[in-house]
Structure 1
């Protein structure tokens, strides 16, 4: 698909805070891309979302949306347990798809989608948007140029336990994949792949203490990358405080930064010098990745996260769930 001389017309499946505050408005790029349709089960919610995003077409059936000539590509922003079947509906209509993370709830589903889309040459994208943010492209450059050979890293994320009343499906393993870890970890794991390349080996340990429906409260991932880099990532969703810190140790320095926050990055050098780097944060955080997707669909030099890029993320996260169950 290449539509260099016209706007790409998007249909959005789903709604809520993520669509209306992080992603949906990003599809409205003058002269390049716009939201043409919104599809939600609830007609009133669908109309409200469509009005906020400037869409003219309001529907409550995905099949009707993908059959419309007004829709050229589809953004799926529903619970991940629905992603596989909904993406297949879009594929049958030969519509490119941009899927929110988590990509799917299993590696088998992810692999099947990638294979099926590739067989007919339809693009499939995943919303691992951190790799497109200026902050993390700058961090990747700092790792490659300022700390010498990267040797090892450590990451720790701590969050308070929350019973997510607004999203009860979050702890339904069939719909969500499995609690807060499955929801949040894709950002971290994809970023590690972006920074260090392919994983050679990974092991996982998970523990359930209090989270609803037996989902993981505490998870430790141990990595060995093909580049030789070793590292650990720790997730704690029972903490009394908050923490979000990545530390990358190289032969000639240490780089520290947050994965989910906007704090400056810190570079520590062997001579005791400390430098801070302040990063540009877009108002709409998913905007840079969606711009890459639009560029790709228009036949330009876009570098989005493709479906095949997201398969290893689901494989690694699924292995953590297996260690618990």
Structure 2
């Protein structure tokens, strides 16, 4: 089904929807945010008032079955992604679900099948795939600026938050809600963008540990992997280090490309001829470029959206393998 205008509903209008995603649904052409839901009704009502959304709910089923809602953005923690995706699919509506896609790859496959059975598309909020910054890295790779790609290395570590206490852990550190520790929340972005840049990963070897014992989930993950293309990769994620580092380096036969996943530092191309740099301003609403591509898919015959259920499930599979 093609829509003249996509009328969106949000399940879970929490912090991530305040600036990163929520306003983008109103700013994209042929798109409108018409309903929001949060379990605490007063918070849903407040969000709706501040963002000029006509309808609010404290019950997800009511939003899903609202005849004025064409498509649903699921912005809850991963522990409820499968449940809500299955309900939205059953209602015959397109799904846009936050990342990580689910608690594990098995749940992802159930979500994919449910949407296939219902004949509705499934998109995952790995929004970096649509941002100019990362499309530039892909452009450089496709143009063979570094020759044939040989390997990629990722180093991402950060200081432990001073306010982490076992009695009041954020949901991102509760595996039954998030799938694991900060690795699942943060490394998923990097692993997904590597899938976008270099293609699917087909072989994975990893280790996880809880070194600092601030919480029960893993706080360090290291791994190696091989892409279907033959490219090798190595990654190290530590969340109790002495400083913050975010660096990806793709090395080829004629040069290398260096960039961060979360920072705004320049993309650096290094070859025998020297260095070139590109700097990009971060979009105010980081989801907006991806939402634009999804709306184009839903309102036309284009197939532009780069982040689907299939690609999102691949990232969950890699994380499962790295932490098994």
Q: Could you tell me the TM-score, scaled by structure 2's length?
A: 0.94
Post-superposition Cα deviations, 1:6-50, rounded to whole Å, max 9, x if no partner, equal x21111011222111100111113651111001111111101111
The runs of 5 or more residues in structure 1 that have no matched partner are none
TM-fit CA distance, 1:103: 0.5
Residue 305 of structure 1 pairs with residue 307 of structure 2: yes
Residue 300 of structure 1 and its aligned partner are, at CA, apart by 4.2
For 1:42 and 1:142, how far apart are their aligned partners in 2?
47
Structure 2 distance, partners of 1:212, 1:95, is: 41
- Whole-Å Cα distance in 2 between the matches of residues 152 and 285 of structure 1? 28
* CA distance, structure 2, for counterparts of residue 291 and residue 90 of structure 1: 21
Partner in structure 2 of residue 34 of structure 1: 32
Query: Distance in 1 between the 2:306 and 2:259 partners?
Result: 23
2:287 maps to what in 1? 286
Aligned residue for 1:256?
Answer: 258
Structure 1: which 4+ aligned runs deviate by more than 4 Å? Answer: 163-167
Q: C-alpha separation between the residues in 2 aligned to 1:115 and 1:72?
A: 20
List aligned pairs for 1:258-273, cutoff 5 A: 258-271=260-273, 273=274
Give the equivalent residue in structure 1 for 2:132. 134
Q: 1:178 aligns with which of 161, 169, 180?
A: 180
Post-superposition Cα deviations, 1:51-108, rounded to whole Å, max 9, x if no partner, equal: 2322111111111111111111100001100111111111121111100001000111
Verify the 8 A CA contact 2:204 2:322 in the aligned structure 1.
Answer: no
In the alignment, does 2:151 pair up with 1:149? Answer: no
Q: How many pairs does the alignment contain?
A: 319
Write the mapping of 1:68-217 to structure 2, written as runs, cut at 5 A: 68-145=66-143, 146-162=145-161, 163=163, 168-217=170-219
Quick check: 1:134–1:280 contact (8 Å CA) kept in 2?
A: no
Distance 1:120 1:198 in 2: 26
Give the conservation status (yes or no) of the 8 Å contact 1:171–1:179: yes
C-alpha separation in 1, matches of 2:279 and 2:299: 32
Kindly provide the CA deviation profile for residues 149-197 of structure 1, in whole angstroms up to 9, marking residues without a partner as x. Answer: 0111111111111255786222221111111111111111111111111
Q: Note closer, same or farther for the CA distance 1:31–1:150 as it changes in structure 2 (3 Å cut).
A: closer
- After superposition, residues 54-69 of structure 1 pair within 5 angstroms as 54-69=52-67
Distance 1:94 1:2, change over 3 A: same
| Alignment match of 1:230 (pick from 229, 232, 249) | 232
> 1:117 offset after TM fit, Å?
0.7
Q: Distance in 2 between matches of 1:276 and 1:115?
A: 43
CA distance, structure 2, for counterparts of residue 206 and residue 140 of structure 1: 30
TM-score for both structures, normalised by structure 1: 0.94
Give the SS at the match of 1:237: strand
Deviation at 1:144, TM superposition (A): 2.3
In structure 2, relative to structure 1, the CA distance for the partners of 1:115 and 1:63 (3 Å cut) is same
Q: CA RMSD in A?
A: 1.5
